[in-house]
Structure 1
Amino acid sequence: MDHVDIYYARVCGLCTKALDFFRDRGTTFTAHAVEWDSEKEAFVDSENARGMYQRCGAVVDFVPQMFVGDQHIKGWRELEPMIQSGEIDSLIPKPE
């Protein structure tokens, strides 16, 4: 199974939903916290933010950003339909 990485912000409700989804299904993942600066309307410069930008291939302005191996899942709006259709189960099999 490919490794799962999740870039999230603590103040992000949709990030919490994504983290809870993966925890509840028993998926092992690495969580990378980033912090939003509302005055600058950008993420605070940090090792995690730079890593997120590098993996995304661009500066992004929303989280969660999730990676299953090299496959990029861009936010809850992309993850939710994958959950509903069952596509996520073929991408990340549930642990037994």
Structure 2
Amino acid sequence: MTAHVLMYSSGVCPYCTMAERLLKSKGVDDIEKIRIDLDPQQRDAMMQKTGRRTVPQIYIGDTHVGGFDDLNALERLGKLDALLQGA
């Protein structure tokens, strides 16, 4: 079982697409996506929660991973699988 994945995203964000592609390649089929371009209040909530303005902002379980570059760095370091498994 994989950890819950939440991703703040927008419809025109190539980094959001790349993050989703990487997560799916790791077996994550269910990504809860919050589209901040469709709901400005969600953008405000994201900024309050993460302290960042850009998308994607990714949470795996209770851990704020950050954006695509952060997610990809975890993968390169071999730490993404453990995080996805909730370890």
TM-score range normalised by the length of the shorter chain:
0.7 to 0.9
Residue aligning to 2:49:
55
Residue aligning to 1:77:
69
CA RMSD of aligned residues (A): 2.0
Q: How does 1:1-96 map to 2 (within 5 A)?
A: 1-27=2-28, 28-35=30-37, 45-46=40-41, 48-56=42-50, 58=51, 60-93=52-85
After TM superposition, give the deviation of residue 50 of structure 1 in Å: 3.2
How many residues are paired up?
83
TM-score for the superposition, normalised by structure 1: 0.72
Amino acid at match of 2:64: H
Q: What stretches of structure 1 of length at least 5 have no aligned partner?
A: 37-43
Q: Percent identity?
A: 27
Which of the pair has more CA radius of gyration?
1
Q: What stretches of structure 2 of length at least 5 have no aligned partner?
A: none
